[in-house]
Structure 1
Amino acid sequence: MGEEVPASALELQQLQRELVRKLLAAVSEEPGAEWADEDVCARYLVARNNRLDKATTMLKETLRWRHSFGVSKLGERHAVIRTESETGKLRVSDSVDRAGRPVLVMTPRAENTSDHDGQILNLVYHLERATGGRGPVDGAADGKLVTVIDFKGWSLRNAAPMKTSRATLSILQNHYPERLHRFLLLNVPTLFTVLWNAMNPFIDPVTRAKIVFVTGSAEQQQAALRECFDLAQLEEGLGGLAPLHWDPAAYFARDAELASAGAGAAVPASARTAAAS
């Protein structure tokens, strides 16, 4: 005989709270367990269809990864992050989507290093900066973000190695579950489809469903962007109307505050977004 289906939304909420409580207890002895608050546990449960055993395994693996990677000590590697970020190739935009979600922008043409470890460090820093480290971000009740990759000027010369691409996917899927609202790919060159076909088998089906190739005529592309953004507030380089003046010094002006607070703590909106003017 199957399990009884909860009869009301209240019962579902009670069941969810109980699962969160059990997950909190299950990971309480892991390093950095204080990071795993109720919001974190809820996301991991959703990512594993409320299967407590699978959510426990996933969250334990994340806590161990965060500890070994040194996520709470990213400020100690600030110099590497600054070098990687000098060109603005990966940054949290001043733009937000229509629901107030942060926008993480990648511009591969601005690649300035070939250091795999440095690039992954930069990725994790910006994921923490975009998400506030743990709970829902300011202005977005669901705690998710939008990622935009602009392939204008992309070539094999500045393409990420397969090792780095796979590591990026692994981190996003395994350690930042239920964070991605939408993944927009702009100005995609034909050559990229070869790499895409190689990467496709490694992409989780849920993640794949959130990936949008923005193609077609200029009007069609603008229509696709308009679904996500108020174009008056979107960076002009991404198809919007808002000017962008990249200034790495201004962007990192609050890093002392971030370092003292620790990457695992909630990051204020003023520190997450670029101080471009």
Structure 2
Amino acid sequence: MFTFLEHYMPQFQMHISKKEFKEIFVSKDSGGRDGELPSSSKTKNVYPPIENFWLPPSVAEKMVDAPRGGGLGSKLLQPLWFRRPSKGSLKMAMEGKHDPKEEKAVDKLREMLFLDGKLPTKFNDYHTLLRFLRMRDFDIEAAKDMFSKFIKWREDFKTDTISKDFKFEEKEEVKKCYPHGFHGVDKYGRPIYIERIGMVDLNKLLQATTLERFVKYHVSEQEKTLSIRYPSCSIHSKKHIASTTSILDVGGVGMTNFSKPARYLFTEIQKIDSNYYPETLNQLFIINAGSGFRILWKALRAFIDPRTLAKIHVLGHNFVHELREIIDPSNLPTFLGGNCVCCEFGGCLFSDKGPWNDPDTLALLQVISSADETYDNPENALLDDTQKIQALEEALEETKKKIKALEIALEDTKVILKDLTKHIEDLRS
């Protein structure tokens, strides 16, 4: 079914060297052997994990003389809150490294979006703009078009308020017939997402919810990952975390799993993830891939973006060693060769285990977020200064009134003393 397929696409090799990254040629035909990539005349760059900065030589050469954002890009368009944290601070670690060439592209994209009036303050940050640039191979015009469509989609889908307005009460029932969930972090600190596709009962799923509500639930989870899971993992690991390691258990999957409702879920969510949540992925491990899945894989890969295809590990039944290379057994459920069971939550896929549920981490995240809202947002800062000025002016007026009252009282006291002095002199005479 692969509802989260596009969002959790991996690099082919976790520790692959920069020299080993090559341009890949991929098309949407289904030729070639299972697990291999078909060929095409169109090139796509495969980048290392988003936490690391590096540009392929072909892109870097084009960007050497690329115009920087200029005054607009580097000063006016970088809001007051968009400043690098002090060296050695936690926020600096969470921000991660910036590549100078990538910053040039980000500045230029920021300028172009600003001039078109399509740069909301909420998304005017380095990492968000960089994700769209990467997805479009640093073609700034294409990235601008993609970002503009992203903003329009958020307005239409009402994404900014989905965490408050949408309640997925049927979540527990859905998980029983569609086992999935976040569970722990890999050895680098990235969140781990797991699906057991071969255990999906589509009939029960459609009794528990609707396809439209499931899609909305998926979007709400994506928003939580961007706003809470990644920042919490960054705080916990003291380095920038912006991607997910995913495991899809396809044991038992065959053509019967690719029914019309299943195809709808796959294509709808694949479209949302590819267009609106790009480049938030580290690795995808497809495990227990038997002959039934390999037949299905020929059809599935025709719908998957070429860059995505280049990032998939398709493993058979002997997958434990590969998983344990990047994930500690304490963060792997027993059904994946680990030693975690999460008994108190009714199973690992119901626990949502991770730093994003640690009270201390969440408290620190809240402090950082509050500080950003108070001091880094120019509108809030302006409002705060205006309120302070107004309060000072009111206090000054109140002080002036008190001084005036004291002056009047002093004058009255002078009159009384003068009369008293005259009365004393009269008595003496």
**Which amino acid counterpart does residue 21 of structure 1 have in structure 2?**
D
Aligned residues: 248
User: Of the candidates 223, 231, 244, which is equivalent to residue 145 of structure 1?
Assistant: 244
SS at 1:79 equivalent: coil
User: Is 2:224 aligned against 1:129?
Assistant: yes
Q: Match for residue 268 of structure 2?
A: 167
CA offset digits 1:186-241 (Å, max 9, x no partner): 2234323333211212212221122112215x4xx122112321123312122211
CA contact (8 A) 1:80 1:118 kept: no
Residue of 114, 130, 135 corresponding to 1:42? 130
Q: Which has the higher contact order (CA 8 A, sep 6+)?
A: 2
Q: Which moved more, 1:183-192 or 1:242-251?
A: 242-251
Q: Unaligned stretches of 5+ in structure 1?
A: 267-277
Q: Is the contact made by 2:196 and 2:250 (CA closer than 8 Å) also made in structure 1?
A: yes
Does 2:164 align with 1:66? no
- Cα 1:21–1:128 change in 2 (3 A) is same
Greater CA drift, 129-138 or 68-77: 129-138
Matching of residues 90-101 of structure 1 within 5 Å:
90-93=180-183, 95-101=184-190
Aligned residue for 2:109? 23
Name 2:171's counterpart in structure 1.
82
- Percent identity over paired residues: 21
Q: Which residue of 1 aligns with 2:211?
A: 116
Query: In angstroms, what is the RMSD of aligned CA positions?
Result: 3.5
Displacement after TM superposition at 1:147 (Å): 1.5
Cα distance in 1 for partners of 2:110, 2:194 equals: 33
Alignment CA distance shift 1:27-1:91 (3 Å): farther
Q: Which has the higher helix share?
A: 2
Preserved contact between residue 183 and residue 212 of structure 1 (Cα < 8 Å): yes
Correspondent of 2:194 among 83, 105, 122: 105
Cα 1:237/1:244, change in 2 over 3 Å: farther
Amino acid at match of 2:111: A
1:103 CA drift (Å): 1.0
Distance 1:179 1:99 in 2: 15
Cα shift readout 1:154-212 (whole Å, capped 9, x = no counterpart): 56369662121112222222222111111111223432333321121221222112211
**Alignment partner of 1:215 out of 316, 333, 341:** 316
Aligned pair partner of 2:324 in 219, 226, 229: 226
Give 3-state SS (helix, strand or coil) of 1:191's partner. Answer: helix
Matched, 1:181 2:273: no
Q: Closer, same or farther in 2 for the Cα pair 1:50/1:110, shift >3 Å?
A: same
Report deviation, 1:86. 4.4
1:132 is aligned with what amino acid? S
Contact 2:174 / 2:205 at 8 angstroms: preserved in 1?
Answer: no
CA distance in 1, matches of 2:321, 2:253: 23
Answer yes or no: is the 8 Å Cα contact 2:230–2:243 preserved in 1.
Answer: no
Q: Residues of 2 paired with 1:135 and 1:241: CA distance?
A: 24
Query: How far apart, CA to CA, are the structure 2 residues paired with 1:4 and 1:127?
Result: 33
Q: What is the DSSP-based 3-state SS (H/G/I as helix, E as strand, rest coil) of the residue aligned with 1:147?
A: strand
Residue in 1 that maps onto 2:390: none
